[in-house]
Amino acid sequence: MIYRDDDIFLTESPRGFGEYYDFVKFKECHEYFKKAKVKHVLAIVASEIWNHPELVEYLKENKEDFEFGIHGWAHERYSEWKEEAIYKSLNRAKNTIDEVFETRCHWFFPPWNKRNDAMYKACERLELKLNDSFVVPHEALIGKEADALCFHYWEDTEREQIKTLLSTPRT
Ligand SMILES: [Zn+2]
């Protein structure tokens, strides 16, 4: 199971629920991963990278602790898009992340967690793995398993749950 931190670099909630981005909370959350020696997998909203240069620097400095994934160019509803449009947008996001962090993205984590066939085709062309099944922290705490655990560092309850999960040795 990978630990996927959604909405990285996103400044505001796409639902209009206020601010998401919080550098202090991100670093706090990352400490839990570091202590547990677990990879912190980032679902990045690529268009916002330049809005938060301090996070760019931090990720570069601690690069080996992270795995870089795509969460859209700007948190789009790709499930309603055609293949070519999805391909172009994800290609742009992938190239940006790969270039800025001198890495290679292998993951696409769809915004809104919705999928369509065109999305699978676009991901295949870009050699991106699409994350299909996931659980949320409170489900993981009761032992539910999936390909990924999806959480948000900026959400106080979830960050506490991640801390508990990472400090509990798995049997
Ligand atoms: Zn999201």
Q: Tell whether 165 is covered by a domain.
A: no
Closest CA to 134 of 88, 69, 50: 69
Q: Tell whether 6 is covered by a domain.
A: yes
Q: What CATH number is given to the structural domain containing 108?
A: 3.20.20.370
Q: What is the pLDDT of residues 14-42, one digit of tens each?
A: 887 788 999 999 999 999 999 999 999 99
Q: Tell whether 131 is covered by a domain.
A: yes
Say how many Å lie between the CA of residue 103 and the centre of ligand 1.
21
Closest CA to 113 of 3, 6, 1: 6
Q: Tell whether 60 is covered by a domain.
A: yes
The total domain count for the chain is 1
The answer on pLDDT for 171 being more than 60 is no
Which SS3 state, helix, strand or coil, does residue 8 take? strand
Q: Tell whether 159 is covered by a domain.
A: no
Contacts of 30 (CB under 8 A, 6+ apart): 40, 62, 65, 153
Say how many Å lie between the CA of residue 171 and the centre of ligand 1.
30
Say how many Å lie between the CA of residue 45 and the centre of ligand 1.
8
Which residues on adjacent β-strands are paired with residue 151? Answer: 5
pLDDT of residue 170: 62
C-alpha–C-alpha distance, residues 75 and 8, integer Å: 11
Residues, CB within 5 angstroms of ligand 1 (ion): 6-7, 111
Q: What is the pLDDT of residues 103-128, one digit of tens each?
A: 999 999 999 999 999 999 999 999 99
Give the mean pLDDT of the chain: 95
pLDDT of residue 18: 85
Q: Tell whether 65 is covered by a domain.
A: yes
Q: Tell whether 87 is covered by a domain.
A: yes
Domain, as residue range, for 101: 2-154
The answer on pLDDT for 153 being more than 80 is yes
Contacts of 146 (CB under 8 A, 6+ apart): 1, 133, 134, 135
Counting Cα atoms < 13 Å in the Cβ hemisphere of 139 gives 13
Say how many Å lie between the CA of residue 167 and the centre of ligand 1.
25
Say how many Å lie between the CA of residue 7 and the centre of ligand 1.
5
Q: Tell whether 141 is covered by a domain.
A: yes
32 Cα distance to chain centroid:
16
